[in-house]
């Protein structure tokens, strides 16, 4: 017995410019959340630092050292450069601010935006010899 498969045809999704079906109704009624508002909204006037052009997952911690009594991290970027960073510097595309540099790890607090919750903080880190962010 042979079963013939029905002929398929390509369909175009017509609603890509419409509202997201994943937004709660109150966010839709209010037009969603404003990316420029909120206590955690990043400073858009600040000049970006060199390592902010790369996703955190593409950066590697290759070393640390003491300079003037402060722990400094050496971070390799995909373009082949190694940049020294310290607490307070920024890295990654999610407005990651370095919270702590230790001998084996750089702890970063990133800021991410969702339509449902607005700006939220999340912790990430680069670990020496691990090769990527976690």
pLDDT of residue 15: 62
pLDDT of residue 13: 64
pLDDT of residue 7: 82
Whether 71 is in a domain gets the answer yes
pLDDT of residue 30: 55
Whether 101 is in a domain gets the answer yes
pLDDT of residue 102: 95
pLDDT of residue 104: 94
pLDDT of residue 25: 58
Smallest CA-to-CA distance from 123 within 110, 113, 132 is with 110
Whether 14 is in a domain gets the answer no
| Partner residues linked to 132 by β-bridges | none
From residue 61, how far is each of 37, 54, 105 by CA, in Å? Answer: 33, 14, 8
Whether 81 is in a domain gets the answer yes
| 21-27: Cβ within 8 A, 24+ apart | 22/115, 22/116, 23/115, 23/116, 24/116, 27/115, 27/116
Mean pLDDT by 10 residues, the chain (134 residues): 77 63 56 67 86 96 94 96 97 96 96 84 88 52
pLDDT of residue 115: 77
**Domain holding 55: CATH number?**
2.30.30.830
The Cα–Cα gap between 24 and 34 comes to 15
Whether 102 is in a domain gets the answer yes
Q: Is the Cβ–Cβ distance between 47 and 90 less than 8 Å?
A: no
pTM of the full structure: 0.69
pLDDT of residue 116: 77
pLDDT of residue 14: 65
Q: How many domains does the chain have?
A: 1
Whether 112 is in a domain gets the answer yes
Q: Which domain holds residue 101?
A: 50-127
pLDDT of residue 42: 79
pLDDT of residue 66: 93
């Amino acid at each position: 017995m042979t079963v013939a498969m029905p002929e398929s045809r390509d369909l175009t999704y017509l609603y890509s410019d419409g509202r997201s079906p994943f937004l709660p109704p109150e966010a839709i009624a209010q037009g969603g959340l404003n990316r420029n508002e909120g206590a955690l909204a990043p400073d858009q006037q600040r000049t970006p630092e060199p390592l902010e052009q790369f996703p955190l997952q593409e950066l590697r911690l290759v070393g640390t050292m003491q300079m003037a009594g402060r722990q400094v991290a050496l971070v390799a970027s995909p373009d082949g450069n190694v940049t020294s960073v310290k607490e307070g510097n920024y890295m990654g595309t999610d407005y990651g601010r370095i919270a702590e540099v230790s001998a084996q790890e750089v702890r970063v607090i990133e800021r991410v935006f969702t339509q449902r919750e607005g700006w939220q903080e999340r912790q990430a880190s680069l670990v020496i010899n691990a090769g990527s962010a976690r």
